[in-house]
Structure 1
Amino acid sequence: MIEDFENIPVRNDLQTIGFYNLENLFDTQDNPKNMGDNDFLPISTKKWTPKRYQNKLRKLGFAISNIGKKETGKHPAIVGLAEVENAKVVEDLIASKHLEDLNYSYVHYNSPDERGIDTALIYDADAFEMLHSETFNVHLVDEDGEPDYTRDILLVSGLLDKEKIYVIVNHWSSRREGAEETEFKRFAAADKVISIIDYLKNDDLDAKIVVIGDFNDDPSSNSIRRLVNSCDLFNPMEVLHTYNRGTTNHNFKWNLFDQIIFSTNFFEATPDTLSFDKAEIFDTDFLKLFKGKYKGKPFRTYVGPKYKGGYSDHFPVYAIFRK
């Protein structure tokens, strides 16, 4: 069942910032420099055809257009993205059926990631004026002392409803080789974000900062606690993570890896400035499997090599700010 997000009055005093891991948004073209896209070609075992690609774009666009709409009556002002192959897929996404009439623009840089996936940010140019963007590398080495390439951290600054904010988009290293075995990688990413925030505050002591991403750690994890405690941040996702709710599910266990964290000055009720209103997981029914033993879990595009035709293996998250 698709929830009705239409006919909700538009709230001009509210803006939504979201984050969505898009689960391997690859185009169908072979990039000889990127071995990571070999599974996502028409001739691969996954049979990643143009038709399937367009179907995924349309579905993701529909999901993105409705993030925060229940509260605001409109599409989100800013959405951070993870697992995009290149600028082209971001362009194709914002040109897809449900986003093409909205004034979205984007920021994307190629990362050195071994899987060939990057972070990006899309924004409604009517609500957000982009001023500056840059990326920061997370330096990791493997057991042999060789460089271990991962996603860069993306920093975008701009004016949201004419107020300057900084958005830091993350996709930290996965737990594929084990949570404890890979924890040092996420500590390295946390320390990099801490250094970025220190750099911002050196220039702007009252900087309003929003840290978003797929952290591959929960709100209670050591890496997230280190980040929050070191930088005077607030994590509204802590109270949303329960045994039966999260953003991604592995072996019937919910994790809340996707989070939106922000500086505590968003609690200051100064007139004509942005203040925090609420945060949520966008786990509406159309993003879930509706039957079978995995009922209620994210409706994925693939499970292994099997095409399911869904959205993503993650639910989006969002925070609403009031002015």
Structure 2
Amino acid sequence: MANKYYFKKKNTKHYTIAFYNLENLFDTKDDPKVLDEDFLPNSEKRWNRKRYEKKITKLGTVISNIGFLKTRKPPILVGVAEVENRKVLEDLVTTKHLKNKDYGVVHFNSPDERGIDVGLLYQKQHFEVIASENIPVLVDNQNGERDYTRDILWVKGVLNTEEVNILVNHWPSRRNGAELTAYKRITAAEKNREIVDKITLEKTDAKIIIMGDFNDDPYSESIKKHLVKNDLFNPMEKLLTRYQGSLNYRSQWNLFDQIIFSNNFHKYEQGKHCFSDAAIFDKDFLKTYKGRYKGNPFRTYVGRKYTGGYSDHFPVYIRIKYNV
């Protein structure tokens, strides 16, 4: 009995912060302003209400379990990518595994042509939003025309009793080749750097968390050379191996999903948060259990074939300690 009590007491000061690419979380309604035709009831994918509700219930199950074994509670902050609008996030936080967790939602519409955005879920009892803003990433394609990509979501708030800045990202894809599109992700990295510099100019000891699907690995030029300077730390560098990552493409693991933070999370101070550890949430129930893609993330569709899974990405998370 004493051991059980000690286990609970030991973990009360630990919290999880997560990021999760939700893989095309679209509603079933046609939005004439975006290219959502693939995710409608009359499309080839036959995306309907039943499939939508099944997906958000599954995603809610995942989110409620991220880091739970270590903290005995769901994550207090969850950055998300590939969501069509605010309504899908509101639906997500009212699914059976999240509805009693009192999550709030921060979301802005991005200019992305497919209509997919980023967002932030936060537990209201632990986080209070002070301000939020969407910041455009201005990149051109090879023809010199603007390539409309996702905005950066900047949220300033009070985490427990400490002010924290959160940047949620979804950088331009590698669709036309990693090397040919690298300049776009470098631009996104530089825009994050610009925001970080602006924050620290106003408050030198500001706490900052940068998370997202960067479409680049921790050692890619965009992150290693253009984003992570002496003031930032990337705990994800040690997590990517030949056998583990957050997504798998052509039998190769990548770790595009990352959480990076300011170095002051390494400092122990009373009334502040400090970093504990980082991990990929790749439990067996999130993996394809047989066939050609065995061990890969269990996704909702493979091509146009409905498989009924979760996402083509695993979530990632960090655990922090609140020093009271």
Q: Judge same fold: TM > 0.5, yes or no.
A: yes
TM-score normalised by the chain length of structure 1: 0.96
Shift of 1:95: 1.0
Distance in structure 1 (CA, Å) of the matches to 2:291 and 2:175: 26
Structure 1 residue 292: Cα displacement: 1.8
220-229 or 119-128, which deviates more = 220-229
Q: How does 1:73-84 map to 2 (within 5 A)?
A: 73-84=72-83
Q: Does 1:59 align with 2:58?
A: yes
Is residue 2:293 matched to residue 1:294? yes
Partner of 1:30 in structure 2?
Answer: 30
The alpha-carbon distance between structure 1 residues 8 and 52, as it changes in their structure 2 partners (threshold 3 A), is: farther
Structure-1 residue corresponding to 2:194:
195
**Which residue identity lines up with residue 164 of structure 2 in the other structure?**
I
Structure 1 window deviating more from structure 2 (224-233 vs 282-291): it is 224-233
Tell me the number of residue pairs that the alignment of Structure 1 and Structure 2 aligns: 316
Q: Residue type of the partner of 1:148? A: D
State the alpha-carbon separation in 2 of the partners of residues 10 and 296 from structure 1: 33
> CA distance change for structure 1 residues 133 and 10 in 2, over 3 Å: closer, same or farther?
farther
Tell me if structure 1 keeps the 8 A contact 2:161–2:272: no
Is the 8 Å Cα contact of residues 10 and 73 (structure 1) preserved in structure 2?
no
Question: Displacement, 1:143?
Answer: 2.3
Equivalent position of 2:217 in the other structure? 218
CA-CA distance at 1:295 after TM superposition: 1.3
Q: Residue type matched to 1:28 in 2?
A: T
Partner amino acid, structure 2, of 1:183: A
Q: Deviations over 1:46-88 (max 9, x none)?
A: 0001000000000000000011111100000000000000011
Opposite residue 162 of structure 1, the aligned amino acid is: T
Q: State the SS of the aligned residue for 2:132.
A: strand
Structure 1 residue 9 displacement after superposition = 7.2
In 1: Cα distance, 2:47 partner to 2:303 partner? 13
Task: Give the C-alpha shift of residue 8 in structure 1.
Answer: 7.2
Please state how far the C-alpha of 1:130 moved relative to its aligned partner. Answer: 1.1
Residue of structure 1 in register with 2:283 after alignment: 284
Q: State the partner residue of 1:17.
A: 17
CA deviation digits over 1:73-115, x for unaligned, max 9? 0000000000000011011111111111111001000000011
Residue 10 to residue 288, structure 1, CA distance change in 2 (3 Å) = farther
SS at match of 1:115: coil
Q: Distance in 1 between matches of 2:284 and 2:319?
A: 20
Corresponding residue for residue 207 of structure 2: 208
- CA apart distance, 1:230: 3.1
Measure the CA separation in 1 of the matches of 2:275 and 2:10. Answer: 18
1:233-266 Cα offsets, whole Å, 9 max, x none, are: 1100010000010000000000000000000000
Deviation (angstroms), 1:161: 1.3
User: Would you identify which runs of 4 or more consecutive aligned residues in structure 1 move more than 6 Å?
Assistant: 7-10
TM-score between the two structures when normalised by the length of structure 2: 0.95
Partner amino acid, structure 2, of 1:46: K
| Counterpart secondary structure, 2:224 | helix
Find the aligned partners of 1:229 and 1:123 in 2 and give their Cα distance: 25
With over 3 angstroms needed to count, the CA separation of the structure-2 counterparts of 1:161 and 1:22, relative to structure 1, is: same
- SS of residue paired to 1:180: helix
Give the AA of the match of 1:233: L
Asked if structure 1 preserves the Cα contact closer than 8 Å seen for 2:192 and 2:227, the reply is no
- Provide the C-alpha distance between the structure 2 equivalents of 1:291 and 1:143, rounded to a whole number of angstroms: 40
Matches within 5 A, 1:214-293: 214-230=213-229, 232-293=231-292
- CA distance in 1 between counterparts of 2:128 and 2:154 reads 14
Report the RMSD for the aligned CA atoms in angstroms.
Answer: 1.3
Cα offset, 1:231, TM superposition: 5.5
Could you say which residue in structure 2 is the equivalent of 1:3? none
